[in-house]
Structure 1
Amino acid sequence: MTELKLAKLPDRTPVKITITVSPELNQALRQYAEIYRATYGAAESVADLIPFMLGAFLDSDKGFAKARKSITDEMFSAESAPRTERRRKSAVPEPSSISA
């Protein structure tokens, strides 16, 4: 298989999520959208702002970043283990160990 400098691109299919919020949160989100419009001179809907707000929240959560890195490191270390090591962990016996 050819190795390219650019890795395979990630899935970029948008995912629609529907949520229900309290009246107080809805009011705060509308106020945020209005302050955003006043600040930047561009009106954006609450629905358009929420993904960026969530992204900013996740990016600023140090505990989440640390836990996510730990999980990712564990996945990569398991993937980079030698093939024989990965096979030993499998519940399926190796073909050579099956008696006929």
Structure 2
Amino acid sequence: MVLQLQIGRISLETDAAMVKQAVISTDYDLSICGGLVLELKQLLVTNFVSFQSYMSRECNRVDHVLALLGSACLAQSELVLVAIPVCITRLVAKDISDHE
């Protein structure tokens, strides 16, 4: 969705220290999940002007709602979002206002 909206800057928010470390270092490149880590890094480098990664438990409300929405889908169905759901837009707007 971010690519379709032509967003050039992205913040990768995670409260998982290992995910953050994997993105900002080469420590996990040769691990069992190294292929996924390298794919994530490649997507970030080739599709965004800039990205930052940081850990925050306060800012992962959007992640939790997206996971909840995804878990409600049937395994056989293909989820296609035409627009960002209103509940997500509201959470993002609140996160932005909280950090200004």
Q: Same fold judged by TM-score > 0.5?
A: no
The TM-score normalised by the length of structure 1 is 0.23
Greater relative contact order (Cα < 8 A, sep 6+): 2
Please say which structure displays the higher CA radius of gyration.
1
The TM-score normalised by the length of structure 2 is 0.23
User: Per residue, is there more strand in 1 or in 2?
Assistant: 2
User: Per residue, is there more helix in 1 or in 2?
Assistant: 1
